[in-house]
Amino acid sequence: MATITRLLQKNIPTSCTRFFHTTVSVQARAAVAMSRLESDQVIRYDRLEENISIVKKRLNRPLTLSEKILYGHLDDPHNQEIVRGESYLRLRPDRVAMQDATAQMAMLQFISSGLPKVAVPSTIHCDHLIQAQIGGEQDLARAKDINAEVYNFLQTAGAKYGVGFWKPGSGIIHQIILENYAFPGVLLIGTDSHTPNGGGLGGLCIGVGGADAVDVMADIPWELKCPKVIGVELTGELSGWSSPKDVILKVADILTVKGGTGAIVEYHGPGVDSISCTGMGTICNMGAEIGATTSVFPYNKRMKDYLVATNRQDVAGAATAMQDCLVPDKGAQYDELIKINLNELKPALNGPFTPDLYNPCSEMKENAVKNGWPLEVKVGLIGSCTNSSYEDMGRAANICKQARDKGIKAKSAFTITPGSEQVRATIERDGYAQVFRDVGGVVLANACGPCIGQWDRKDVAMGEKNTIVTSYNRNFTGRNDANPATHAFVTSPEIVTAMVFSGELGFNPEVDSLTAADGSKFKFDSPTGDELPAKGFDPGEDTYQHPPSEGGSVVVDVDPESNRLQLLEPFDVWNGKDLVDMALLIKVKGKCTTDHISMAGPWLKYRGHLDNISNNMLIGAINIENDEANKVKNVLTGEYGGVPDVARHYKANKLNWVVVGDENYGEGSSREHAALEPRHLGARAIIVKSFARIHETNLKKQGLLPLTFSDPSDYDKVRPDDKVSLKGLNEFAPGKQMECTLTHADGSSDTIWLNHTFNKTQIEWFLAGSALNRMKQSQ
């Protein structure tokens, strides 16, 4: 089904590559608005084309699509060092997008910068703070009430600083971006790890922390380590029960949760044309789960059709005229190549507890029995930013119609989350929503909901072992409902929908039958659904607020007594001394995602209040000393306490501390709170075997030292009661290892060496105490 080939760029002989010695002719192009909501902001295809021409002449080789878009946005294409996997690129993104949970801290940091207005088009999207309880209308009304203070802050901050505001109920940030802002060749950064969804429209959309967003909004070139490029060549065509989701489930199986780290995944090949634009978005969206910087597809007719359907005919025309810049060059080389034949791809589910554990439907029952996974499906949930398009809803509704025609209803609880107000209004008009309700489904608000833990689940007790199946992207322990015993499997909306009628995890709709109301046996036909609505999209309610041309007089209030919002105080500057005899707060055992470091769910309400949100710091991480969560020894008192409580005690007693972790530390969400909280509570360094990309950058931005063991086995030398010293900080320099002494309780010690990826600019962040401090120093 799939093959994988590693192509090391430096070892490719020149005979394998056709070099280009001619430059692209740069022509004057008609100005096209970046968005129908921003007529004064134009797409700079002329700059993209010119920069690609400059870089191609310098490198004298074919470029991948990823390289064209990245290098087309270089701040200085003439002089920028370009070495994949090594050099740091200084880039000029086209725009910034922020969801409400991360926008709070991003806007608080922007306010702290002292700048009067954002320098690039930026938007805020209210999608994370709406909890699924009863149904769409009731849940939205409740969210507007309990989150009024936060929504008012975001709305007024947007108006004052020139940021567009999408009100609660608008939909999920990534669907709104696809419908309104993404375009072929765009470089967009978003404060959410699933920002890569926009790659379905041929752009590079990259998840970042809020501090990175502040840099771009402040007109500072954005730094990104030049990614390697992993090619995924698709042949054949999707058919039957196989879906775009199955492509990324298979890629996750091949690359694992860290196999894409430091790389862009670029899909290409004849099989691409069998996938819809929103289907390509699904694949790019879940690319976050393999650690990829982002994912992208080449511009094609499916993208053009989607642009036209979303009233962007002018963008479609401009992109078509630019097509040579929006596809990879012939002969472009990839650092690694995966080949997948879509004709052979079968439906699958990944999980539980990790998004890279691959289970073909045909083997699911056997795997479940062997591993003791509960076979009864308690709840099936479709939607989320990964799978909530009109096409997704249509294919799921087709299955529901077949079930309704046979007189049966869902055996499992069944929830449906539309991706946007536009999708919601259109599926209501076209009857899909009613079909879902007819079979027992509950249509939730246009929001993230259970996918991010915003789910007031009542059907099982906490700690009760159970199974849910979702069309979401992430299934870490406790991710959806805070229950560590919930076994969550991610799959396509079609497979979720089929399973809710069987109620069984082992149900394979390709071969298994169900019993109709009249007692007869039947099998589902393969699902079908329109890619785009025949009658066009119904926009639904207008939920967008454009910032006023002059927002200087707008007042942004933050109540000093609020428990939801808190203005930021600058972090302390490095004192010029080595960091000696620091306490080891916790030595983390195994997987430690940003959900373990800073949980979502009920904690989302504190995302704008650093001190309050810090009370969840590392409470989900497992302490290797006792195999328990949120229980660490306080070296000053000898007593055990919660991780944030012990950290606060250390800070109050001016005792610096560190965290030691395992592989791919900080995978998952882009939430910078997982870096802000340790910094706020007194951390100085995080020492691990390896980092996830976004989290490592977030730690640097906040003045922390993300360090990795030169020898991964040195992790085993660290004891829970060690004193940790980092020496030679006065000689801190790019590429130079850092000396670390572990002083054990018995008086013995070990000296180990640590690596880092800091460049000169990032070292300045550490010296200044944070990137924001450094920005203020430079004004």
By annotation, the residues acting in catalysis are 127-128, 192, 474, 669, 671
State the Cα–Cα distance between residues 683 and 705, nearest whole angstrom: 9
Closest to 620 in 3D by CA, of 453, 488, 468? 453
How many other CB atoms sit within 10 Å of the CB of residue 425?
18
> Residues 162-201, buried b or exposed e (16+ Cβ, 10 A)?
bbbbbbbbbbbbbbbbbbbbbbbbbbbbbbbbbbbbbbbb
741-761: b (≥16 Cβ within 10 Å) or e:
bbbeeeeeeeebebebbbbee
Looking up tokens 């007819």, which residue turns up? Answer: 438
Q: How far is CA 310 from the centre of its chain?
A: 24
Among 593, 762, 775, smallest CA distance to 673 is for 593
CA 376 to chain centre: 30
Task: Tell me the torsion sign for CA atoms 409, 413, 419, 422.
Answer: positive
Q: Which of 649, 646, 618, 621 is nearest to 632 (CA)?
A: 646
| Distances from the Cα of 423 to the Cα of 420, 470, 512, angstroms | 5, 19, 32
Burial profile 38-69: b = 16 or more Cβ within 10 angstroms, e = fewer: beeeebbbbbbbbbbbbbbeeeebbbbbbbbb
Token code pair at residue 10: 């430096």
CB contact at 8 A, 688 and 660: yes
- The three-point CA angle 621-588-615 to 5° equals 40
Backbone phi and psi for residue 741, each to the nearest 5 degrees, phi listed first: -110, 130
User: Helices (DSSP H) in 339-443: which residue ranges?
Assistant: 361-371, 390-405, 421-429, 432-438
